Structure 1
Amino acid sequence: MNNILEIEEKLSFDFFWNEVSKTENGYGLIRDNTKHNIASIASVGFGLSAIPIGIERKWITKEEGYNRAFKTLNTFLYNVEQKEGFYLHFVDMKNGKRVWNSEVSVIDTSIFLMGALTVAEYFKGEIYELFEKIYERINWQWYTDKNKNMFYMGYWYESGFHGYWDGYAEQLMMYIMGAASPTYPVDPILYYSFNRNLGRYKNYELIYTWTGSIFTYQYSHAWIDFRNKKDKLGVDWFKNSILATKASRQYSIDNNHIYKSFSENSWGLTACDSPNGYRGDFGAPPSAHNNTENKTDGTIPPAGTIGSIVFTPDEVIEAMKYYDTLENLKCKYGFKDAFNLDKNWYSDIVIGIDKGISLLMIENYRTGMIWDLVMKNKYIKRGLALLEIK
């Protein structure tokens, strides 16, 4: 068992260590995926979080990890394009400037920030000071609609703010870091203002997300340990993710007669590569309106499964053993992004955020390292206290 976890964790780490920019103005930027030479700041957030894992597992030296973290945070403080402290979703690997008419992203900035916080807590000293300068610059209030008490979904230079984080998804980290901000804190009411819609699939009733993509139940949990915690409404987000994971697995079991890729050991529908390109809408019920049409084409992403190892470890490990039998699914960075047996298709890429959730959740399952680091942080403690999650 440990062998398959060790291999996937190490090869996932290798992606973040190798697929990195070392230019003067873009040092530390990490590729979004192996197809495009474009960086995503979320990929960098996972990559920074990977550094303490690499050091503790002796894949890199502490000096190598320190230098990578220090130079990366310097790049983000001085070179990477930002507005009101928030970064662009996608940037040029060479210089950190906007590409693809990308939005100024609150969620991707938050994922980057969690990575910065992780290395800050691990190294302390100068790294912590750099993290605080980046954190203190973020104007969380600017990204907030005070009439609705909600974060906006995205901001584009050309057209301003669009949409709202009005339902549950991967964004819990935003409320914690926003409330704890030493410079531009947002009211904890934002956390209690998004909809908590209940839905059911078979025996599993849970607060569901828009698409039912399983990553939405995973990302905040990669850093923040919600185990044995409830908010003042009685919501237990960790238990909710267990239920979402079980529902997603059951959906694949129930639809095995439709899709060859689906089974008790092949599940975890989430945003991923597909035979028709990247799909952000793959998911399982329950989801918004309990609408399951067009939520899948039979494509399975291993990261969707692996990212839930802390929620349902036995089921995930059995699935990983199955994925390991698919030789066409393997590459130098572990499992490729996805496969589809009905279409005899295997992705030819890996995607940073998918490798990232696999890496962090495997480590949390094995040692709890990322959770332990993050939960020591004074801002995380303050944010959880302000939101009354305890």
Structure 2
Amino acid sequence: MRKLPFVIELEAKRSFEFFWNEANTNPDSPGYGLILDQSANKEVASIASVGFGLTAIIIGIERGWITREEGYERTKGTLKTFWNNVEHERGFFYHFLNMETGKKNESFYDCASIIDTSILLNGAITSAEYFGGEIAELFEKIYDRVDWMMYYDHSVNQFYMGYKPETGGFHHWDMYAEQMMQYILGVASETHPVPVKIYEGFERRLGEYGGYEFYNSPGGSLFTHQYSHAWFDFNKYLDSDGIDWFENSVKASKANRQYCINEHGNFKTYHENSWGLTACSTPNGYGGPGTPPYHPNVTSKNDGTVAPSGAAGSIVFTPEESISAMEYYYGKHSKLWGEYGFVDAYNLDVTPEWYANHVIGIDKGITLLMIENYRSGLVWDLYMKNKVVQKGIKLLDWNKKDSGSL
């Protein structure tokens, strides 16, 4: 158990408070337990936010921020909502939901999402392991209902990226990104598994930047190297090809920081303590800043925006650099700090200088979970002992490393 610097401890607690406070707590509501997608819109929930939030509840209990009884009731009610009320397509939930009804959000129609459903399931897995009993039973029912084959395109041996009942699946997870969790969950299903060979279906493309050679995602956003790692302890396993995905994320994080150092002359927001380009709010709306090596069909969308969650979400990969960044943000940018800790992002390269006026659930989530994994390994420990996860590891033929601990 590591003792955290003051700022990191405070950011963890404030991040937790977003998930605890910005939830539907009306026990008579069909949307009980749903959590806001972001603090600026009080009507729209996201299932990914709930996935991070379920694990956040466990962290809150272990840190003494809430009681076990409070956490148990909130978790049980949330999973009952997903089993009974939340709109889905053969087990896949819609990305955005009406906060009160649990139905898909009609103001910006979205798809039944495999990646966001997977994040929701990851949160439920930690809940099942932590509480057991009725909560574990609810997780199993929700998981067993998911028809992974609905999202499988056998013609290319890949998952679709999205699915709409009117038109079916569209686009593909054809390159390495944040989807690693989908292979573990998809192959391990007792009811609707996808073939194990699906893990061979996406492209791994080695590239180099700043002296680091690694597999980058198409746009180079840092969250793609973090989200699956928030739950699965890749530091203990090599995949069937011998790839060390944990070390890959270490290199991606260091390359991301090096890019910000190199580009300081072009963007004054970027420097050695202001780095971690990742999907976030920008002065022009939600965007996907990232760093090279880019895939040939991708061009940079960087505009000087930096999200604190970029460096924070890499604290297990680059602890010294991530802590220095968070201490810099807290000490030098008072406008970056708010009710729920760091706001989503800032940009000094526009006039006037821009600071977000809100937080986003998934950014608070990756921050909180990675801080806890750095502190104690709690999330990893719970997730890795789950029977679904262990079955997925065995089927994918991933092997334990000789040693692997922070």
- TM-score when normalising by structure 1: 0.98
| Residue 334 of structure 2 corresponds to residue 327 of structure 1 | yes
| Residue 112 of structure 2 corresponds to residue 104 of structure 1 | yes
**Cα offset, 1:289, TM superposition:** 1.9
Q: In the alignment, which of 282, 291, 297 is matched to residue 284 of structure 1?
A: 291
**Cα offset, 1:290, TM superposition:** 8.2
Which residue of the partner structure matches residue 29 of structure 1? 34
Q: In the alignment, which of 347, 358, 365 is matched to residue 349 of structure 1?
A: 358
- 1:5-16 to structure 2, matched below 5 A, reads 5-16=8-19
Question: CA offsets, 1:35-89, max 9 Å, x none?
Answer: 1120000000000010110001010000000000000000000000001100000
| Residue 126 of structure 2 corresponds to residue 118 of structure 1 | yes
Query: Aligned partners of 2:40 and 2:326: how far apart in 1?
Result: 24
Name which of structure 1's ranges 9-18 and 226-235 shifts more when overlaid on structure 2: 226-235
Which residue of the partner structure matches residue 127 of structure 1? 135
Which residue of the partner structure matches residue 92 of structure 2? 86
- 1:234-249 to structure 2, matched below 5 A, reads 234-249=242-257
**Cα offset, 1:2, TM superposition:** 2.2
Query: Aligned partners of 1:265 and 1:240: how far apart in 2?
Result: 21
| Residue 71 of structure 2 corresponds to residue 65 of structure 1 | yes
Query: Aligned partners of 2:300 and 2:182: how far apart in 1?
Result: 29
Which residue of the partner structure matches residue 402 of structure 2? none
- 1:162-181 to structure 2, matched below 5 A, reads 162-181=170-189
- 1:1-390 to structure 2, matched below 5 A, reads 2-23=5-26, 24-36=29-41, 37-99=43-105, 100-279=108-287, 281-289=288-296, 293-325=299-331, 326-343=333-350, 344-390=353-399
Question: CA offsets, 1:67-122, max 9 Å, x none?
Answer: 00000000000000001100000010001111121101000000000001111100
**Cα offset, 1:202, TM superposition:** 2.3
**Cα offset, 1:287, TM superposition:** 2.3
Query: Aligned partners of 1:306 and 1:60: how far apart in 2?
Result: 23
Question: CA offsets, 1:158-209, max 9 Å, x none?
Answer: 4321111000000111000111111111111111111001111121111110
Query: Aligned partners of 1:35 and 1:371: how far apart in 2?
Result: 31
CA contact (8 A) 1:259 1:298 kept: yes
Query: Aligned partners of 2:323 and 2:222: how far apart in 1?
Result: 17
CA contact (8 A) 1:197 1:208 kept: yes
Query: Aligned partners of 1:248 and 1:303: how far apart in 2?
Result: 13
Query: Aligned partners of 1:157 and 1:191: how far apart in 2?
Result: 25
CA contact (8 A) 1:199 1:290 kept: no
Query: Aligned partners of 2:240 and 2:274: how far apart in 1?
Result: 36
Query: Aligned partners of 1:381 and 1:17: how far apart in 2?
Result: 30
Query: Aligned partners of 1:231 and 1:349: how far apart in 2?
Result: 38
Q: Which amino acid aligns with 1:380?
A: V
Secondary structure at the counterpart of residue 213 of structure 2: strand
Q: Which amino acid aligns with 2:15?
A: S
RMSD (Å) for aligned C-alpha atoms: 1.0
- TM-score when normalising by structure 2: 0.94
Question: CA offsets, 1:311-347, max 9 Å, x none?
Answer: 0100000101100021000001000000011221100
Q: Report sequence identity in percent.
A: 55
**Cα offset, 1:150, TM superposition:** 0.8
Question: CA offsets, 1:119-164, max 9 Å, x none?
Answer: 1100000000000000000000111011211110101234321111
Query: Aligned partners of 2:80 and 2:178: how far apart in 1?
Result: 27
**Cα offset, 1:373, TM superposition:** 0.4
Q: Which amino acid aligns with 2:375?
A: R
Question: CA offsets, 1:207-230, max 9 Å, x none?
Answer: 110110000000000000010421
Secondary structure at the counterpart of residue 205 of structure 1: strand
Q: Which amino acid aligns with 2:343?
A: K
CA contact (8 A) 2:291 2:300 kept: no
Secondary structure at the counterpart of residue 160 of structure 2: strand
